[in-house]
């Protein structure tokens, strides 16, 4: 039987409570735990409802505040790790599921499909979803790019949505992850990177299941809202760069279904507001840090102070920039953080205007091929066609 977790921070209680009921209704689920960042409005509302739900479904519903487990900014990582600790120390459930609390398209199918893949013997099951071609820009430009450049022979580059927060772990997999000090340390947005990394580093078998209704949840406006996530995801990856990962672990991906027109037409972020961000927040020190980068990057970025530029940041240039960042980026330094954000922004804008503009199918094919080319580049030292 399974424990279902919803990590939450300042969410709409109605959305979370509906999701809790979907989970409670499922025959495989025997307990639900909501782990809050703090005692916010959502925490109070959910705690007030929990005893009634426990009674009407005959299954425990608990709400708790996350513990301080890691060493970085206290965030989603502490929330998820608190849940692993609870599973291992307080219960004997055989499986744990994680779902984001803000999802409005959650249904029993998500739990059923994950349980079925686990029944086949997979130790980890990851949900993946159709996404618009301009969404998931941290996943593509930071995480999958980094996985391809750093661990080209492992399955890491081929994991569809390595930052996804929806997954199932068997108890054994949860034990492996929670006993990994790198995982416990990662209290911030880097936790998804660490869970993905650690499951592959420990050689766990992974099944990726496709949820065609998609993950409908709260959306961002300008890319600036993603800044903290971007920085924390990149530094998580940077902290792992010298760690070994085995080749040839077991991994299967369910073939995706047809994507709805609405998803194909969706624009993932506000282009105009994001362009504006390239001109703001500059310091002399950032200009000095640019000395570390190839000349077209340095000149292009400096020109952004006057007018937004980004056409120089193509796929190969980004690989060069990425390796400079892996060597020099300092997450504790505000100028480095701002510069990483701007560099990533130019990459996202270059991709949007030269690739995404050509249509959904073209763009998704390009992104998958881009990862394959980075793998090739890393293995052979040269770019693939
Ligand atoms: N306990 C706890 N503590 N929960 C948190 C915290 C925190 O400090 N911060 C956020 N959450 C919850 C939040 O309420 C939601 O349920 C979930 O974590 C995800 O946060 P959200 O703000 O909805 O992020 P977003 O952009 O939807 O990102 C998620 O998906 C990304 C992805 O699919 O690529 C999240 O799981 C990311 O880590 C992931 O990169
Ligand atoms: Mg969300």
User: pLDDT exceeding 70 applies to what percent of the chain?
Assistant: 98
Which domains does the chain possess? Answer: 2-265 (3.90.550.10), 271-354 (no CATH)
188 lines ligand 1 (CB under 6 A): no
166 lines ligand 1 (CB under 6 A): no
pLDDT, tens digit (0-9, with 9 covering 90-100), for 148-168: 999 999 999 999 999 999 999
- Those residues whose C-beta lies under 8 Å from the C-beta of residue 144, and which sit 6 or more positions away, are 157, 159, 162, 371
Q: Which ligand is nearest to the CA of 217?
A: 2
Q: Residue 243: is its pLDDT beyond 90?
A: yes
Band (pLDDT 50/70/90 cuts) for residue 224 is low
Average pLDDT (355-364) is 97
Q: How far is the CA of 76 from the centre of ligand 1 (A)?
A: 6
Q: Which ligand is nearest to the CA of 192?
A: 1
pLDDT, tens digit (0-9, with 9 covering 90-100), for 116-127: 999 999 999 999
The continuous run of DSSP H or E covering 16 comes out as helix 13-24
190 lines ligand 1 (CB under 6 A): no
Q: Please tell me the predicted confidence (pLDDT) of residue 269.
A: 84
176 lines ligand 1 (CB under 6 A): no
Q: How far is the CA of 316 from the centre of ligand 2 (A)?
A: 31
Q: Identify whether the C-beta of residue 269 lies closer than 8 Å to the C-beta of residue 221.
A: yes
Work out the number of other CB atoms within 10 angstroms of the CB of residue 108: 14
Radius of gyration of the chain (CA): 21
102 lines ligand 1 (CB under 6 A): yes
Alpha-carbon span 162 to 193, nearest angstrom: 7
- Those residues whose C-beta lies under 8 Å from the C-beta of residue 309, and which sit 6 or more positions away, are 278, 300, 301, 303, 346
The string of DSSP letters for 68-120 reads --SSSSSSHHHHHHHHHHHHHHH---SEEEE--TT-SS--HHHHHHHHHHHHT
Q: Identify whether the C-beta of residue 154 lies closer than 8 Å to the C-beta of residue 250.
A: no
pLDDT, tens digit (0-9, with 9 covering 90-100), for 94-121: 999 999 999 999 999 999 999 999 999 9
Average pLDDT (75-88) is 98
Alpha-carbon span 378 to 380, nearest angstrom: 6
Quote the DSSP letter at residue 66: P
Q: Residue 222: is its pLDDT beyond 70?
A: no
Q: What is the mean pLDDT of the chain?
A: 96
The string of DSSP letters for 185-204 reads H--STTHHHHHHHHHHHTT-
- Those residues whose C-beta lies under 8 Å from the C-beta of residue 257, and which sit 6 or more positions away, are 130, 210, 212
Query: Is this structure's pTM higher than 0.85?
Result: yes
How many residues would you count in the chain?
Answer: 385
Tell me which residue of 48, 30, 36 sits closest to 94, measured CA to CA. 30
7 lines ligand 1 (CB under 6 A): yes
217 lines ligand 1 (CB under 6 A): yes
Q: Please tell me the predicted confidence (pLDDT) of residue 51.
A: 98
Q: Which ligand is nearest to the CA of 100?
A: 1
Band (pLDDT 50/70/90 cuts) for residue 273 is confident
Q: Choose which residue among 165, 186, 196, 227 to substitute to test ligand 1 binding: the one with the highest number of ligand atoms within 8 A of its C-beta.
A: 165
Q: Choose which residue among 100, 103, 127, 144 to substitute to test ligand 1 binding: the one with the highest number of ligand atoms within 8 A of its C-beta.
A: 100
Minimum CA distance residue for ligand 1 atom 36: 165
Q: Residue 275: is its pLDDT beyond 90?
A: yes
Quote the DSSP letter at residue 130: -
């Amino acid at each position: 039987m399974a424990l279902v977790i919803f990590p939450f921070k300042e969410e709409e209680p109605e959305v979370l409570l509906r999701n809790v009921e979907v989970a409670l209704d499922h025959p495989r689920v025997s307990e639900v735990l909501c782990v809050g960042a703090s005692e916010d409005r959502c925490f109070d509302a959910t705690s007030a409802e929990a005893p009634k739900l426990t009674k009407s479904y005959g299954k425990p519903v608990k709400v708790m505040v996350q513990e301080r487990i890691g060493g970085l900014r206290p965030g989603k990582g502490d929330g998820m790790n608190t849940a692993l600790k609870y599973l291992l120390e307080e219960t004997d459930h055989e499986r744990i599921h994680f779902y984001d609390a803000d999802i409005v398209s959650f249904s029993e199918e998500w739990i059923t499909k994950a349980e079925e893949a686990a029944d086949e013997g997979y130790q980890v099951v990851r949900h993946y979803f159709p996404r618009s071609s301009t969404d998931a820009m941290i996943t593509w430009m930071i995480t999958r790019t980094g996985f391809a450049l750093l661990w080209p022979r492992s399955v890491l580059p081929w994991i569809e949505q390595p930052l996804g927060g929806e997954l199932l772990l068997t108890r054994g997999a949860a034990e492996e992850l929670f006993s990994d000090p790198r995982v416990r340390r990662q209290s911030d947005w880097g936790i998804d990177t660490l869970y993905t990394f650690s499951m592959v580093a420990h050689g766990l078998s992974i099944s990726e299941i496709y949820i065609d209704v998609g993950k409908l949840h709260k959306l961002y406006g300008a890319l600036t809202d993603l800044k903290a996530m971007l920085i924390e995801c990149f530094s998580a990856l940077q902290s792992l760069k010298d760690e070994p990962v085995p080749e040839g672990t077991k991994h299967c991906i369910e073939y995706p279904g047809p994507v709805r027109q609405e998803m194909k037409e969706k624009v993932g972020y506000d282009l105009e507001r994001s362009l504006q961000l390239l001109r703001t927040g500059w310091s002399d020190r950032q200009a000095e840090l640019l000395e570390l980068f190839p000349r077209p990057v340095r000149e292009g970025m400096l020109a952004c102070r006057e007018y937004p530029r980004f056409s120089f940041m193509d796929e190969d240039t980004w690989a060069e920039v990425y390796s400079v960042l892996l060597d020099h980026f300092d997450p504790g330094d505000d100028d480095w953080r701002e510069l990483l954000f701007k560099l990533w922004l130019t990459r996202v804008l270059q991709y949007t205007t030269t690739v995404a503009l050509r249509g959904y199918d073209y763009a998704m094919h390009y992104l998958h091929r881009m990862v394959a080319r980075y793998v090739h580049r890393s293995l052979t030292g040269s770019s693939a066609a």
